[in-house]
Structure 1
Amino acid sequence: MTPIDAAEPVTLARVAYPGANAASEPLSKEFSLAKAVSFLDSAALHWQKRRRCIACHTDAAYLMSRPLVDSKPQAHREVRKFAEKLVNERWEKQGPRWDAEVVVAAATLAANDAQTTGQLHRVTRKALDRMWTVQRKDGGWNWLKCNWPPMESDDHYGATLAAIAVGIAPGGYARTEKARTGMKHIRRYLAGNPPPTLHHKGMVLWADSLCGKLVTDQQRKVWVGELAALQKPDGGWALATLGEWKRADGQKQDTTNSDGYGTAFVIYVLRQAGVPASDARLKRGIAWLKSNQRASGRWFTRSLYKDSKHYISHAGTAMAVMAIAACENSSRKSSRTGKPDRRN
């Protein structure tokens, strides 16, 4: 495994393999946000270099989280440039590989705009507008179903991600005619298709915090309670408890041990749903994150699909950065919109 030096800037030209996502990796001696973002820089650029894909679990999660710490490093600029070229060049010549790619790119660029310039970039608008051209009549999207939950296993995830894209996009995009029409169809889809898992209830809570009127006050209260109730005695959460997913390798899901993605995701969506950072459950969750970072800077999460690459650890690390920012940066900017946070 190649050690990651948080003091050494990572670039596309010199990026090294950040090492396998492994449960056996030792814990870090102390929490380091610098190591976390250095790992994310390496993971995103290495994925970009090898796969040329803006995957939900790696490059997309990176662009949503990296600016919460610092958007100036060259690594961030290079991943952002890759996302823009995807929309401006490859789509123009070859078209998107999947409808899901359009939604992921739109949501990723919109969130990145909100956290950086606060203005809607013309390429982001282009991706958002294209998103509506592949929306189905029922309001949903044809999503990737690779049996890689929670992101690539059902159509519901795509509908909530599209709603997040609209809600987080700066520059009043949600008020455009295309967005209003598209959101009308998304609302109809979500009303007729309840979240299939507790994870996706969390996704709806996140989307509702940005768009409004996706859940009732009673639903929000119940779902927040359901998510909070799954907190482990050590203060964390386990991703596998947020749904009933079957593994491809025939092994049992680990519903016992807390992990990076499960803990960070629940903390983040509870914050978006209005739970204050001072809440004892969130404080215990943040303490778990800070004491369970690995030596490389990442947080490990076991794949829900099979024991192989565990790429969900990349998303879990990005989500950990978002969760920590949501709880500790509330005096500066909201982790949702880049605007002053009024939830405390």
Structure 2
Amino acid sequence: MGWSVASRDHETFCVSCHTALPYALSRAALRGALADQTPTINERRLIENVTKRVRLRDDRGPYYNDETSGAHKTAQSRGTEAVINALILANYDAQTGRLSDDARAAFDQMWAQQKTTGDDKGAWSWLDFDLRPWEAEESAYYGAALAAAAVGTAPENYRSTPAVQDRLLLLRDYLDRGYATQSLFNRTVLLWASTKLPGLVTAERRKSLVTEIVDDERDDGGWSLASMNRTWKGSTLRGYARSWIRADRSLVEMKSDGYATGLVTLTLQQAGLTRDNVQVARGLLWLERNQNTSEGFWPADSLNVQRPPTSNIGRFMSDAATAYAVLALTEANRHSTPQH
């Protein structure tokens, strides 16, 4: 939030998929686990920033534009921001049970950016900087799953609002249509979204996907983002090659990491597996054993370039990993409350 590179117009900042969104989701969960009613300073700054950009509407500039960042970046920025804003505000409002006017405005802006024609109808233009797993050629599916999660998270039964049913149908059709060609990572995010928006995946598909995710667990009890992000289906040759070799020609490592392990153990628990399930228990144990005890974070490496782990940009993956590890552990803790 205080990073100069993230600064944008009207004294706002870019709300990123890699850091700000996971932080928003995890901080709310951690606040609940700690029975802390007051948002932290950084949490308030983030919510205020998102709210300000929603209220600015068309007066706000895109995060990136065609002139300085390349073709389609204006539309991609608009689509990406609209989804993330809606999810962050819906998640925040879920703590109170009341959907605010600002969150409703964010959803209106999100639906306005949804594609209604073409092969990708039902999805959103999504940032593509060839940066996996969030900003690459296959990331529009990830973004659509986030949109579904936003709708399912919103309080006051927003999902049943008559005015959004046609848009929701487009979204469901898109997610169903593209399912077979998606990476396990994208499909795991879809499974997570389906725990918030019932009916997003069929019971048969849900069961099959849970089995596939469980089977991808590593020998040490964790999951590997590099492994989960790899798929040849629907990928260009370049995209598939990038799942093996980073842009700097270093090999992508298949070891377990905090991001994948946190995301998977969170998702499996919310999909109905208990913390006593063997695979979930092993994943939670991996998280307990692999936290950096001196600084408190969980490790994860970039899929794109080898980066110094202590640099600002080098911490992006570990920041995201830490957020999802927190979500997984707080979910486990939520279901371990002794019964009296």
Tell whether the structures are fold-level matches, with TM greater than 0.5: yes
Secondary structure at 1:180 match in 2:
helix
- Aligned equivalent of 1:133: 112
Q: CA RMSD in A?
A: 1.8
Q: Residues 1-344 of structure 1: matches in 2 within 5 Å? A: 45-47=1-3, 50-51=6-7, 52-70=13-31, 72=38, 73-89=40-56, 91-97=57-63, 98=77, 99-114=79-94, 116-137=95-116, 138-153=121-136, 154=138, 155-194=140-179, 195-244=181-230, 246=242, 247-255=246-254, 257-294=255-292, 295-308=294-307, 309-310=313-314, 311-330=316-335
Cα distance in 1 between the residues matched to 2:289 and 2:145:
31
Secondary structure at 2:148 match in 1:
helix
What are structure 2's unaligned runs of at least 5 residues? 8-12, 32-36, 64-76, 231-239, 308-312
Query: 1:82 is matched by which residue type in structure 2?
Result: N
* C-alpha contact (below 8 Å) 2:195/2:270 kept by paired residues: yes
Q: How much has 1:218 moved relative to structure 2?
A: 1.9
Cα distance in 1 between the residues matched to 2:145 and 2:170:
12
What are structure 1's unaligned runs of at least 5 residues? 1-44, 333-344
Cα distance in 1 between the residues matched to 2:42 and 2:27:
10
User: Can you list the C-alpha shifts for 1:12-54, whole angstroms capped at 9, x where unaligned?
Assistant: xxxxxxxxxxxxxxxxxxxxxxxxxxxxxxxxx4448954210
Cα distance in 2 between the residues matched to 1:187 and 1:235:
33
Q: How many residues align?
A: 285
Cα distance in 1 between the residues matched to 2:268 and 2:22:
18
Cα 1:236–1:161, aligned 2, differ >3 Å: closer, same or farther? same
Query: 2:326 is matched by which residue type in structure 1?
Result: V
Q: How much has 1:94 moved relative to structure 2?
A: 2.5
Q: How much has 1:214 moved relative to structure 2?
A: 2.2
Cα distance in 2 between the residues matched to 1:46 and 1:319:
22
Which structure's relative contact order is higher, taking Cα pairs within 8 Å and 6+ residues apart?
A: 1
Cα distance in 1 between the residues matched to 2:262 and 2:222:
8
Secondary structure at 1:66 match in 2:
helix
* C-alpha contact (below 8 Å) 2:223/2:261 kept by paired residues: yes
Query: 1:75 is matched by which residue type in structure 2?
Result: N
Query: 2:331 is matched by which residue type in structure 1?
Result: A
Cα 1:284–1:46, aligned 2, differ >3 Å: closer, same or farther? farther
* Alignment TM-score, normalising by the size of structure 1: 0.78
- Aligned equivalent of 1:19: none
Where in structure 1 do 4 or more consecutive aligned residues deviate above 4 Å?
47-50
User: Can you list the C-alpha shifts for 1:153-199, whole angstroms capped at 9, x where unaligned?
Assistant: 22111111111110111112111123222111001111221251001
User: Can you list the C-alpha shifts for 1:226-258, whole angstroms capped at 9, x where unaligned?
Assistant: 111121222111111102251212221111x21
144-153 or 133-142: bigger deviation: 144-153
Identity %: 35
Cα distance in 2 between the residues matched to 1:145 and 1:56:
12
Query: 2:200 is matched by which residue type in structure 1?
Result: L
* Alignment TM-score, normalising by the size of structure 2: 0.79
